[in-house]
Amino acid sequence: MHSFVKESWYEILVTTIYIINFLAIINLIFREKRSIEATVAWVLVLTTAPAIGCTTAPAIGCILYIAFGRGISKNNMFKIKEAEDKILKENIIDTQIKLNHNDNFEPDLIEYKDMIYTLANSNNSHFSTNNDVEIFPESNDFFESLLEELKKAEHHINIQFYIFKDDEIGNKIIDILINKAQNGVKVRLLYDAVGSRLFSDKSIYKLKKAGVKVGVFFPSFMKIININLNYRNHRKIVVIDGKVGFIGGNNIGDEYLGKNPKFGYWRDTHLKLTGDSVKDLNIRFILDWRYTTKEDLNLDKYFNIKSSRISNSKACKNVGIQIVSSGPDSTELDEIKYGYLKMIQKAKKYIYIQTPYFILDRTLTDTLKIACFSGVDVRIMIPSKPDHPFVYWASSSYAGELLKYGAKLYNYDHNAFLHAKTIVVDDCVCSIGTANMDIRSFELNFEINAFMYSSQVAKKQRAIFENDILKSKEITLDIYNSRSRHMRVKESISRLLSPIL
């Protein structure tokens, strides 16, 4: 009798899970406007996972969907208030005025006005021209500059990272933030709950006690359970006094200084900005901050600041910049992906791409194939070692597919990990930021990139890429085709799941 009751409860449980999975599939197909590829991938998980584990873990498909597959509300999380709306409108008007005057552009950059207009329309991305840019291809140089600028802060520090750890480099930054807050500087620290899950409560308490305001994006329940696990704020933003900004691929942790033996030398790219683009970076931080903390900031304090700061003499002067952000919250648009597409479509000479994850949708795949057929020198650089195996195998598959169309593929130094997210085209336009060349960055994560219209910046980034080639192994079509059967199987499975990785 006891065995019969136990079996009945088990059948009820399994039946309930199948019903939940069926309802999830109905929701995917009829309510959530996802890509066909993502919908098919989740239907596959929901229909096959329960069957595979029906004797031991009948809920596996349901659990995976709840953890990674749920959609989020499509209303605008980062609502624009009247004060921001006024600033944004003024910025767009300023952008339109600049686009009407060719003297704001180098001769070779005039043809990119339509790209600027596209990003301004789709993302309210202001185009500013009076900017200086310094590129940091070495993480050590980035952190040295960041620490130096934080120590100079006079008015405010707005700092946001996906990963913030209180290890050696993290504690150096924490000490500066505490010191500045105690000396009257307004300090706000925003971090992602999942990315910064190792950020200790002790350090957070120290920061708050010293007067640092701390915000947590999509907080977890007891640091273990997070109902928004699949939607992360991947942005890295630092704004100091409204005059100096940082944006790029580095997070706050010792591994980004090459101190993790698993990865070895860490190859990343970060930017230091001065000029009007810093205001645009600050707007993005403030929108994220207000959504997370509900603090009603007085914007006049952050956009009308007098300072004696002088920009870095090593920077590239008079650079045209658009700060472009994207996320799954408000619209059906993939703004950073649109910027990448426009760059690829307009390329005539070369396209150099660096990314740790290379997982493309059909639009990007076809656009790169067309570029190859058009005689454009397409080069893709990815890591030679995985930090996420399935993502690595899928990246290998997508990059390898392009080899037969004429693209060149490089695996960066096997003693290092490539984490840079860069694309440069024709010595004209360059994009550096937080967005990888993958579906997750385009559709699921909250990201931010700087699109820079400057031959000087583009040439510097091209030189950095070419120097990285010297530390890389080229994967020719023959080498790729000779990979093992085991690798082919892993690539095939990973590619099938790529829309949800």
Known catalytic residues are 234, 236, 241, 419, 421, 426
- What 3 state SS string does 7-22 have? HHHHHHHHHHHHHHHH
Q: How far apart are CA 29 and CA 26, in angstroms?
A: 5
Q: Are 472 and 412 in contact (CB under 8 A)?
A: yes
Residues composing the chain = 501
Q: How far apart are CA 337 and CA 177, in angstroms?
A: 34
User: CA neighbours within 13 Å on the CB side: how many for 466?
Assistant: 9
Phi first, then psi: what are they for 157, rounded to 5°? -130, 120
**Residue written as tokens 């598959």?**
397
- Radius of gyration for the chain, computed over Cα atoms and rounded to the nearest angstrom: 23
Question: Helices H, strands E: what count in the chain?
Answer: 17, 18
3-state secondary structure of 209: helix
Q: Are 446 and 387 in contact (CB under 8 A)?
A: no
Letter for the amino acid at 437?
M
Nearest to 217 by CA among 239, 199, 194, 200: 194
Q: How far apart are CA 453 and CA 430, in angstroms?
A: 7
